[in-house]
Amino acid sequence: MRINYPSKITIGICLFALGVLLLFFKPKADASVLFVNQVATLEEFALINEIDAEKIPQKILIPDLNLNVNVQVSFVKSGYWEVFDDKAGWGVGSAYPGEIGNVVIFAHAKDNLFGNLKYIKKGDSVFVLTNKTWFEYKVDDVLEVLPTDTKIIAPSSEEKKLTLYTCSGYKDSKRLVVVLSAD
């Protein structure tokens, strides 16, 4: 009795067709994708009625990484901060730069956003521009946490702090967090 196995050409054609299907029929991401269950829940941050346009971050610069990224206000939607495909987000409810509290800025781990953040080192300078003023922060710590570990981005009432946040790990299973203090 002879068993007919598919030929290598047939298997190759099937794998190619499957690849094409996966390439063209993947779900499209919205421009304001959420870090669902990953950034912070609304309960952790004070609700604010108004945003002071003069104080919100406009740009973040990290000279040692040749990083220059625009920052946009990120509102809470469905309990989580919005994340943008083309800029960093400043989490509404986190502190304003230069003030006591935790300024939280986050972005995707893309080359033109926070992709090179993995190369930052302790002592590196990070500059945040508001409408009128530059604020300098120095890197205190770089760590990797699970998406559920949101205490790192919790509000602070004792110091001027900046927290940068992005994805890391295999299939973005972890978060790269950079903790900085005002210079």
Q: What pLDDT score was predicted for residue 76?
A: 83
Number of neighbours of residue 64 by Cβ within 10 angstroms = 14
- Tens-place pLDDT, residues 143-154: 999 988 888 888
In the structure, what pLDDT confidence band is assigned to residue 163 with cuts at 50, 70 and 90?
very high
Within 8 A by CB and 6+ apart from 94, the residues are 45, 101, 102, 103, 104, 153, 155
Q: What structural domains does the chain harbor? A: 42-182 (2.40.260.10)
The DSSP string of 83-131 is: --SSSEEEEBTBPPTTSSEEEEEE--S-TTTTGGGGG--TT-EEEEE-S
pTM: 0.75
In angstroms, the CA 57 to CA 133 distance is 9
Cα 176–Cα 178–Cα 182 angle in degrees, nearest 5: 165
- Tens-place pLDDT, residues 95-109: 999 999 999 999 999
* pLDDT over threshold 50, residue 28: no
Output DSSP code: residue 92.
B
